[in-house]
């Protein structure tokens, strides 16, 4: 360690930041005064800077975090969302939703994050730091990697960050869910690494042509190949895949859609999460009525598939994924 620090000082520093959530050098009393002064003068604890905060009435808080970019390159930002439990009894801490890329190459038409394409992958430290910023808003019990980006296209950095989140920040592997559009070879590679997370695959529809429009980067990948990669994930890790469907009114929420989804998933070790779309002001897509969502769920369950409805929280402006970043 430069500045006269010793190797064990680096271990103290790491423990303070990752295990105890100390983000100020002056509070790290296990370090010598001179070292703390020198570090606080020219090495910020966190590299990501909070640029904006967008709180919702239900307690959900979205952070816009600025990334330090190299000389000459434009400063970029990402979003992280802190979602406190609905009741104190239900859960011991919040859920944190994190991003893995700046922008996204997948291009789903209902998502603000994909509108400008991919800028770059986040580094492992940039993924990890979102947890440190998030924890400063309140204890984190679970995490969903469902923010900006396609996580499995940045798997090495994701795995490095989540290994630390799991081992040093103490978030259980069953409490971390990574949501991907399910590139088959990426799902298989991830399964073989036995990573510390659960897998969710955003299917959105069980019809191939329609999926090509809703998940453009998967246009050439038949749904059956995605499902077979999901089966491989289960066989390899022993953890069931959750298939997610963002329900868009009048588009993929018909009863035929529900029946086809049930038919495709019947007999597989998987569950379905139905997520009524989180409407964006002036957007092209709408959220279905509650009754339609219930009918959809019942039809999927009639095929013997467990289905749950997940209503999004934080419906005020900028709540949809990528909105805040786009506005800035
Ligand atoms: S929904 Fe996810 S995969 Fe699709 S464009 Fe948005 S961030 Fe990318």
Distance from C-alpha of 204 to C-alpha of 244, rounded to nearest angstrom: 6
- pLDDT score at 71: 59
- pLDDT score at 123: 97
The pTM for the full model equals: 0.93
Ligand 1 touching residue 111 (CB < 6 A): yes
Task: Give the H/E segment covering residue 178.
Answer: strand 176-180
Q: What's the 2 CA to ligand 1 centre distance in angstroms? A: 42
Q: What's the 217 CA to ligand 1 centre distance in angstroms? A: 10
Q: Virtual CA dihedral for 123, 73, 68, 59, nearest 10 degrees?
A: -90
Per-residue pLDDT of the chain (328 residues; tens, 9 = 90+): 567 778 899 999 999 999 999 999 999 999 999 999 999 998 999 999 999 999 988 889 999 999 987 655 678 999 999 999 877 665 689 999 999 999 999 999 998 887 889 999 999 999 999 999 999 999 999 999 999 999 999 999 999 999 999 999 999 999 999 999 999 999 999 999 999 999 999 999 999 999 999 999 999 999 999 999 999 999 999 999 999 999 999 999 999 999 999 999 999 999 999 999 987 666 789 999 999 999 999 999 999 999 999 987 765 545 556 566 666 6
- pLDDT score at 6: 85
Q: Which of 16, 79, 126, 129 is catalytic?
A: 79
- pLDDT score at 114: 79
307: tokens are 């289905």
Distance from C-alpha of 241 to C-alpha of 251, rounded to nearest angstrom: 24
Nearest to 49 by CA among 16, 29, 77, 85: 77
Beta strand 61-66 with 77-83 is: antiparallel
Scanning the structure block, which residue is given the tokens 């640029």? 51
- Give Cβ neighbours of residue 90 (< 8 Å, ≥ 6 apart): none
The number of C-alpha atoms within 13 Å of 279 and in the hemisphere containing its C-beta is 9
Ligand 1 atom at shortest distance from the alpha carbon of 104: 8
321 is an active site residue: yes
140: tokens are 């984190």
Q: Tell which one of 118, 149, 177 to mutate to probe ligand 1, the residue whose CB is within 8 A of the most ligand atoms.
A: 149
- pLDDT score at 322: 59
Ligand 1 touching residue 320 (CB < 6 A): no
User: How far, in Å, are 211, 218, 227, 235 from residue 224 at the CA level?
Assistant: 12, 12, 5, 16
Q: Residue ranges per domain, the chain?
A: 1-45, 46-327
Ligand 1 touching residue 145 (CB < 6 A): no
Ligand 1 atom at shortest distance from the alpha carbon of 101: 7
Nearest to 91 by CA among 145, 138, 147, 22: 138
126 is an active site residue: no
116 phi, psi to nearest 5 deg: -105, 15
Q: Which CATH number fits domain 46-327: 3.20.20.70, 3.40.50.2300, 3.40.1160.10, 3.40.630.30?
A: 3.20.20.70
3-class secondary structure, 169: coil
- pLDDT score at 323: 61
């Amino acid at each position: 360690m430069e500045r006269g620090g010793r190797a064990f000082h680096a271990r103290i520093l790491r423990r303070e930041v990752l295990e105890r959530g100390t983000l100020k050098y002056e509070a790290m009393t296990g370090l010598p005064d001179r070292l703390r002064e020198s570090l606080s003068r020219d090495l910020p604890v966190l590299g990501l800077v909070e640029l904006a905060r967008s709180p919702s009435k239900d307690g959900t808080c979205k952070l816009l975090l600025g990334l330090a970019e190299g000389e000459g390159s434009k400063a970029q930002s990402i979003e992280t969302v802190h979602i406190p439990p609905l009741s104190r009894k239900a859960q011991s801490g919040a859920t944190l939703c994190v991003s893995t890329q700046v922008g996204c190459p997948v291009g789903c038409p209902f998502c603000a994050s994909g509108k400008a394409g991919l800028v770059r992958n986040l580094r492992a430290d940039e993924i990890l730091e979102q947890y440190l910023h998030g924890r400063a808003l309140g204890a984190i019990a679970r995490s969903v990697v469902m923010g900006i980006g396609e996580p499995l296209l940045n798997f090495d950095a994701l795995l490095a960050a989540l290994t630390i989140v799991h081992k040093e920040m103490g978030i259980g592997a069953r409490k971390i869910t990574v949501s991907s559009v399910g590139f088959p070879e990426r799902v298989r590679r991830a399964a073989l690494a036995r990573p510390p997370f659960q897998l969710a695959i955003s299917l959105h529809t069980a019809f191939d042509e329609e999926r090509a429009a809703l998940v453009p980067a998967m246009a050439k990948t038949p749904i059956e190949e995605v499902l077979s990669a999901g089966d491989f994930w289960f066989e390899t890790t022993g953890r069931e895949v959750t298939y997610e469907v963002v329900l868009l009114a009048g588009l993929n929420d018909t009863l035929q859609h529900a029946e086809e989804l049930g038919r495709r998933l019947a007999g597989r070790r998987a569950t379905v999460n139905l997520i009524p779309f989180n409407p964006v002001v002036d957007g092209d897509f709408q959220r279905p009525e509650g009754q339609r969502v219930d009918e959809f769920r019942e039809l999927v369950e009639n095929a013997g598939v467990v289905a749950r409805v997940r209503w999004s929280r934080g419906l005020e402006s900028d709540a949809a994924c990528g909105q805040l970043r786009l506005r800035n």
